[in-house]
Amino acid sequence: MAVIQFIKGIDETVVPDVKLTRSRDGSTGTATFRFTNPVILNASMENQGDITGMYLMDEEGELITRDVNAKFINGKPKAIESVYVIKDASNWDRFMRFMERYANENSLSFTKAEDS
């Protein structure tokens, strides 16, 4: 089981677009998650609590980032963008294990960017 949560105990059911960058030596990088119209922004979620971060949870534990920002259109929240910083090679491996589980459960595929 691999899930993403913004409030502990409430799974986000909207599957994000995820963009990965990696340093030349492969040891560090970033993962940028973009959720369009996530469930957590629905009016029905108002009383569930505050968004305190993005929690990537699976059987190994959880990865956490506090870099979470709402994107507004006409004064209404429409998207959430969150950045997870990968600090070293073992963290990169752990993140990729989570993403593989999450991708398998949500029918995601990986598309490599074209080298420019």
Contacts of 100 (CB under 8 A, 6+ apart): none
CATH of domain 3-105: 2.40.30.220
pTM of this structure: 0.90
**Mean pLDDT within 68-72:** 93
Contact of 53 with 44, CB cutoff 8 Å: no
77 or 101: whose pLDDT is higher? Answer: 101
pLDDT digits (tens, 9 = 90+) for 27-68: 899 999 999 999 999 988 888 988 999 999 999 999 999 999
Structure tokens at 16: 């994000």
Q: Which two tokens stand for residue 107?
A: 């029918």
Q: Where are the domains of the chain?
A: 3-105
> 94 pLDDT exceeds 90?
yes
Average pLDDT over residues 85-111: 90
Query: Residue 115: is its pLDDT beyond 70?
Result: no
- Write the DSSP assignment of 55-116 as a string of letters: EEEETTEEEEE--EEEEEETTEEEEEEEEEEE-SHHHHHHHHHHHHHHHHHHT----PPPP-
Of 38, 34, 42, the C-alpha closest to 12 is 38
